[in-house]
Chain A
Amino acid sequence: MRYVAPTSIEETVSVLAGDVRAQVYAGATDFIPQLRMGRPEPGVAVDLKRIDRLTDLRREGDTWVIGAATPSARLSEEEDLVAELPGLVEAAHLIGSDQIQSRASLGGNLCNASPAADSVPAMVVNDGRAVIAGPAGMRTIPVASVVTGPGSTSLATDEFLVELVFDRPPPRTADAYLRFIPRTEMDIAVVGAGARLTLDEAGRCQEVSVALGAVAPTVVMVPAAADILVGNPLTDEALKRVAAEASAVCNPIDDKRGTKAYRRQVAGVLAVRALRLAADRAARTG
């Protein structure tokens, strides 16, 4: 295994073009444990952390731009980001521990393509966009279409993720992310739920988005949440229906971390709790 640390996007593109067995990495908090567990070594290990644009975090006009290799700890340090996208920041802040977060990136969390990745539902409810570089230049796709299944992405072998872009939220809008783990930290989501909503001035829902993690091969949206809630306040009755819909869209597996029935039920519970939390926050930003 060879090691390279390119300092520009162009250089990285050419390294990837030169060896189909090249693999990029950022914090390596998935990459190294996977090698230890016997995954075949890549021909070239490409460290992305020397490329300025990939470790950046900035407000650009009406958007937030987060470098694909930016350590997730940076997100909590950016006060305005915490105020505007609290759910995204809390999702990033759940990854591992302080030590892990000082390395782990959103780009790695996304491209590792684990069904349980914490930041992905939060990115998806915020309509995140992924900027991807390859031999043909840059292209932008929705975060939701990056992951195609457990461990696989829509990126070609000679492409890599450069940054993630989020619109700054309009008034009375907030997001939230909750996950269930059997412990309080250092664990993998059994269920994750991201929610974002915009309230109107009367406190009724104007826009609603709910995404679930760890309950299907990729993140699943709960479109029925918007159907039920838009134009209405968050009543217990309506939320009960949202919970049922959230449980229904899950396509979970039985494994050592939870049963299908458990994941279904808790998906509904967390979807509702995340919506309530987002609504509280949205009302406060009003």
Chain B
Amino acid sequence: MTVTATTTDPQPGYKWVGTRPVRHDGLDKVTGRARYGADLNLPGMLIGAVLRSPHAHARILSIDTSAAEAMEGVRAVVTGADFPMLESGGEGSGEEYYDPLDLCRNVMARDKVLYEGHALAAVAATSRREALAALAAIEVDYEVLPHVLDVSEAMAPDAPILHEDLITEGVEPVPTTPSNVASRYVIDRGDIEKGFAEADVIVEREFVTQPVHQGYIEPHAVVADVGEDGKATVFCSSQGHFMVRAHTAELLGWEPSRVKVIPAEIGGGFGGKTTVYVEPVATRLSQKAGRPVKIVMTRDEVFRATGPTSGCKIRLKVGATRDGRLTAVSGSMAYQAGAFKGSPVSLGCMCAFAPYTIENVFLEGFDVVVNMPKVTAYRAPGAPMASFASETLLDEIAERVGMDPLEFRLHNAAEEGVRSVYGPIHKRIGFRETVEAVRDHPHYSIELGPNQGRGVASGFWFNFGGSSSATVHINEDGTASVLTGSPDIGGSRASMALMAAEELGIDVYDVTPIVSDTESVGYTDVTGGSRVTHATGLAVIDACRKVVADLRARAAMVWDVDVDEVEWVDGRAQHVSGDRAPMTTRDLAADAAGTGGPITASAAVNARGAGAAFSTQVCDVEVDPETGYVKILRYTTAQDAGRAIHPSYVEGQMQGGVAQGIGWALNEEYIFDADGTMENPGFLDYRMPVASDLPMIDTVIVEVPNPGHPYGVRGVGEVGIVPPMAAVANAIHDATGLRLSELPMSPVKVLEAIGANGG
């Protein structure tokens, strides 16, 4: 990485950064021309379908596919036996963590099915009807086993065990028997006994949340085509086509270069498309059948088999002095991992109190496997549920010590140079500024009516950097093509174009931002962790700077002057002493052959300086005391974006996070019947908010530049979903006097609480 970090002038003289051009990909999207995962059809293409377990937990005694294979139209059938068993491995947690063994068993069950919806066979046939008929003809003999969904029940000594080889990590002495607890994570700083002894007020509560789905509109969809040379071309929508390439190849026992992945347009991911489900299956089916194979999940399959995020149980205790200083926090969090280890519980522990300075902290997290789909990243994975708990308790403490909740937050705000709750020393951060923005917003002083209440909450997310590549070509007409490997899930193409326009000094519409396939641009990590505008942006800036250096060198060559004599201003080369006529990008491009050939440059980074993100939000609700219905009256969110490259898409991310958070707060949940079958696998009964449920969500972009990016960019995609659940709960408390500690705060639960309170 050669882009050096420079602190940005707070009033920078940018030309493009901070403007709001219509996104380059917008027209195709609103006219329906954009090609999503399901839109590709190839000659001779077969349709694939996946057989899924009807049981939440069962041993597969036998699978007989012979009848299916003999059926009309069926061209290939696969089961777990068609995929190599991989070695366990991998480490860490968070958005990109995976264990190859778990992944291969999740994509195709082997000896056991671990959740209702778990894939165990697939067919490719000449029509969907034939494919479905063939699935029905596959005979599976199951031994149904007892299942477990609830985290506490799964942690109990007599719980049904999902994996006989799962030994809890992170406890001493190492257990000798398997359990459903995959690991224990601990943050232990300071001395909580001393901290609680200093406290004048202590609050403690238990919180429960349910699994929720990312709810992207576009179901997973893939077309795989394995050629005679054994190489595969995979067209699909995902948050990272290099990730799809790596996983698909690994699950098939191939080298990555044997697979080429072409990114489709993506209809939402929110973290849920950072892994593979049907891609390796379609590829193996195509290889067996010798024809392209398409698999498109139904909505039902999306709910039953793809990543929700964890439901959890959290117990937290918080202490503060009479004058509102936090002295200690302690508690434990148990998160559902789904069928395989890897819940974001450690991230929950790290994020819960990250906006504050607290010296004495003891938090332990348990990663617990249960019989539901393996959880996948969802926008700030792990943080929202933990912050629901922590931010509700902070509201209660502020109330108990008689402080305004925002003043309380300012009083305890984490700042530059102070050690964070989760370890590192904070760099320049903008938490305080987000709190002040809400405090100073007119919303905060609007008068409330009967049954109405106001709540605030804050949130933290790390933001990630990671590996990104970019290539910039100057076309013959002087325009630029900017190639990256980052799928655009939130307007990032527009941001890349703006940064390129800024660097090159050309019009933003003379830049064509392109999401390139795995063979046309260097390796790039998934679009996740709010990393793209930061990290891929760094690569784009770096590549543009190389191009500018090249353009200056060419001008110097034409003018026969020293390169130091050439300045790049507003998209043209200028002779410093001024006696040569300036040359534009177009002039230099036209003459490229004569000055060294095509003008192009690539850059790659492993970005490290992703600045942390903070958000503070205020929500007004009205609670119908007779039905428990909670109406969101007003909502304002302030977030530190570092530098908003394209403010509209920053606002879009802020609003999107809030909208999803409100759904999580009020109605969204997985509902299972007694057999562990999901009862609401569709948008009718899995209640995400509809447009008319939400008010206009007001946004305040706070800009405290990130020292780790030349323009000061911080990721903005995730932190917005962290505060809403607590903001809504705190508003309900203000309206009704009730402290709700279970999500979702559905009308049934709210009315029960009102009733229990003698309402």
Contact = CB atoms under 8 A, between A and B. Distances in A.
A256 B680 contact: yes
Contact of A258 (B692, B693, B748): B748
Interface stretch (A121-129, A222-230, A259-267): A259-267
Contact of A183 (B626, B628, B667, B671): B667
Contacts of A262: 628, 747-748, 751-752
Given A256-B679, A266-B627, A269-B626, A184 B751 contact: no
Q: How large is the interface on A (under 10, 10 to 19, 20 to 34, 35 or more residues)?
A: 10 to 19
B684 interface: yes
A265 B684 contact: no
Give the size range of B's interface with the partner: 20 to 34
Given A182-B687, A182-B746, A257-B685, A265 B693 contact: no
B632 to A, nearest CB: 10
Interface in B710-759: 746-748, 751-752, 755
A183 B689 contact: yes
A274 B326 CA distance: 50
A190 B684 CA distance: 12
A137 to B, nearest CB: 39
Interface in A174-210: 180, 182-188, 190
A259 B671 CA distance: 13
Contacts of B746: 182
Nearest to B685: A256
A185 B692 contact: yes
Contacts of B680: 256
B690 A182 contact: no
B666 interface: yes
A38 B650 CA distance: 43
Interface of chain B: mostly helix, strand, loop or mixed: loop
Given A187-B684, A256-B680, A262-B747, A180 B690 contact: no
Given A256-B680, A256-B685, A183 B690 contact: yes
A275 B296 CA distance: 49
Interface string B653-674: 0000000000000110001000
B629 interface: yes
B751 A183 contact: no
B751 A265 contact: yes
Interface in A98-149: none
Contacts of A258: 747-748
B684 A188 contact: yes
Interface in B386-437: none
B688 to A, nearest CB: 9
B747 A180 contact: yes
A257 B746 CA distance: 10
Nearest to A36: B298
Interface in B473-523: none
Among B627, B671, B687, B755, the most chain A Cβ lie within 10 Å of the Cβ of B627
Contacts of B687: 182-183, 187
Interface in A141-160: none
Given A183-B689, A185-B692, A259 B627 contact: no
B692 A184 contact: yes
B299 to A, nearest CB: 10
Contacts of A182: 629, 666-667, 687, 746-747
Contacts of A261: 752
A269 B629 CA distance: 12
Contacts of B751: 262, 265-266
Contacts of A187: 684, 687
Contacts of A266: 626-627, 751
Residue of A185, A190, A256 with highest tally of chain B CB at under 10 A: A256
B621 to A, nearest CB: 14
Interface in A239-286: 256-259, 261-262, 265-266, 269
A183 B689 CA distance: 7
B690 A185 contact: yes
Nearest to B298: A36
A186 B693 CA distance: 11
Interface in B678-710: 679-680, 683-685, 687, 689-690, 692-693
B693 A184 contact: yes
B326 to A, nearest CB: 36
A261 B756 CA distance: 13
A182 B668 CA distance: 11
Contacts of A265: 626, 751, 755
A216 B693 CA distance: 28
B745 to A, nearest CB: 11
Nearest to A259: B748
A179 B370 CA distance: 37
A190 to B, nearest CB: 8
Contacts of A269: 626-627
A256 B671 contact: yes
Given A262-B748, A266-B627, A183 B693 contact: yes
Nearest to B679: A256
A201 to B, nearest CB: 32
A269 B625 CA distance: 10
Given A182-B629, A183-B693, 15 more contacts: A182-B666, A182-B667, A182-B687, A186-B683, A187-B684, A187-B687, A256-B680, A261-B752, A262-B628, A262-B748, A262-B751, A262-B752, A265-B626, A266-B626, A266-B627
Pick the 5 closest A-B CB pairs, nearest first: A184-B692, A269-B626, A262-B748, A256-B671, A256-B679
25 contacts: A180-B627, A180-B747, A182-B666, A182-B746, A183-B690, A183-B692, A184-B692, A185-B692, A186-B684, A186-B690, A187-B684, A188-B684, A188-B685, A190-B747, A257-B685, A258-B747, A258-B748, A262-B628, A262-B747, A262-B748, A262-B751, A262-B752, A265-B755, A266-B627, A269-B626
